[in-house]
Amino acid sequence: MIIAFVYNNKAFLPEMDAYERFFSGYNIKCELVNKNDLGLMHRHVEWWMMPADLTKPKEGIYKIHDYCSSSVPPWRWWKNWWKSFFNAQPDFRLFLNEYVRKTLNFHDQIPFGYRDIGVPEHWLLTDPFLHEREYDFVYTGDLSPVRQIDNLLNCFSTGQMKDYTLLVIGKNYENLQNAYARYQNIVFMGPLPYNSMDSYILKARFGINYVIDKEPFNKQSSIRLLEYAALGLPIVTTQYEWVEQFQQQYGGNFFYLNPNLSNFTWQQVNGLPYSKPDVESFTWEQQIRRSGVLEFLESKFPELKF
């Protein structure tokens, strides 16, 4: 059996590595392809990492649409409407959470499930005290302008954290790297293979979860916070709806940044007794198994037993 994962290579998607590791354990071949090359390969399932799929259905090939996020500004409501109206109809949909499903607002009876963010299981076994720290802080993930990451970087360039180091791991950061080139305490790196991400995150003393308090960002799971937590890093985070609900449910003690970052000082960050939330249920395998997609595949391919 062959699953073709259709991916535009724009987003930062650790779930691609997770899917491949999971399905390869059942002798299912996973191919990562661009939509333009999809027609050149043999496949049994097309697994689209959305936002867009305008292709016609093909007999004998099942289609899964995987929505790991709602649309982002600008014009995010229009973009969500466009996706719900123009996208091809799949055989099954996956959504990050209920918020993402509701914002996309599909009006059909296509079966669906929720597949939240996860972490590699072996990360939970890491002893953070065994790693040498080269940086004071690390930030991983999306660096697009809509994230307003320059507010954080300014703290390390000319602000109160200019004497401390920040490792930034992401992709498409050339403009930011040029803008902050003369500040040697800010180091840009990546994109990195996901199987080596943990070793680089563990080079830092603190993990920064910088998320602006606006939809859809404040309603969606933070992969970086979960990764820091799994690896045992003390977490510095902005304060918003999802992280507050996560803390209420799974515990942990984080340093909450003021909206204007005025309390982001070395003294205050080091003055908090941090604790790790319970993320044992957030492994990628558990998230995939809870999503309902395996039951869907078993219903279409009776020889599969997950």
Q: How confident is the model at residue 11 (pLDDT cuts 50, 70, 90)?
A: low
Opening angle at CA 63, ends 59 and 64, nearest 5: 170
The predicted model gives 2-8 an average pLDDT of 90
The predicted model gives 19-47 an average pLDDT of 92
258 within 8 A of 152, measured Cβ to Cβ: no
Opening angle at CA 24, ends 21 and 28, nearest 5: 140
**In whole numbers, what is the pLDDT of the chain averaged over residues?**
93
235 forms beta bridges with 207
Token pair for residue 70? 């709602």
Q: How confident is the model at residue 232 (pLDDT cuts 50, 70, 90)?
A: very high
Q: According to the CATH classification, is domain 122-269 in 3.40.50.620?
A: no
Domains in the chain: boundaries: 2-118+284-300, 122-269
pLDDT at position 10 is: 56
The predicted model gives 99-112 an average pLDDT of 93
